[in-house]
Amino acid sequence: MQVPVILLEFDGVLVTTPIWRPVELLADGFMKFNEKAAGNLNRIIELTGAELILTTTHRITYGIDEWCRLLATRGIRAPRISKINEAATISAMSKRAAEIEAWVTKCGVKNYVVIDDDSSINGLPDFIKNRFVQTKPMLGLDDESARKALGILRSRIN
């Protein structure tokens, strides 16, 4: 049986600071997460055993070991954390929707959910779009979004 996967963006999902306010940084120098959103993500991971694939542009900032520490500091403990691809610079990245489509096509994983606030993902094929939870940027991964994500990860895979 395949382990569920969460393809995860941070901005607008875990970081919900309005654009007119400075983002609060923790002692480790990285952004503070919305506590409710982080709690909802942690609950999804606990209930499903899902692994995290970082789709966020911030993924290039740190290596996987450091991401594990940063996320654990914020209460998120996934069994495995990886990056959507090997891009190491902003210029090496494609648009997020294209990266997600390439990952889904390449990896063949069927039980996944995309959690992001980027509406361009709605332009992807239905088999991906149907596994997308679009958050509201200033709410992030709220209870409603978390329920939808859980429903997707627990649904039967065709």
Does residue 1 carry a pLDDT above 90?
A: no
With tokens 């939870």, the residue in question is: 133
pTM: 0.95
pLDDT digits (tens, 9 = 90+) for 120-143: 999 999 999 999 999 999 999 999
> pLDDT, tens digit, for every residue of 74-93?
999 999 999 999 999 999 99
- Region 7-16: mean pLDDT is 97
pLDDT at 117 over 50: yes
Smallest CA-to-CA distance from 70 within 129, 133, 117, 27 is with 27
**Model confidence band, residue 2 (pLDDT cutoffs 50, 70, 90):** confident
**Contact present, 102 and 94 (Cβ < 8 Å):** yes
pLDDT tens across 20-79, in order? Answer: 999 999 999 999 999 999 999 999 999 999 999 999 999 999 999 999 999 999 999 999
Residue keyed to tokens 């209460």: 75
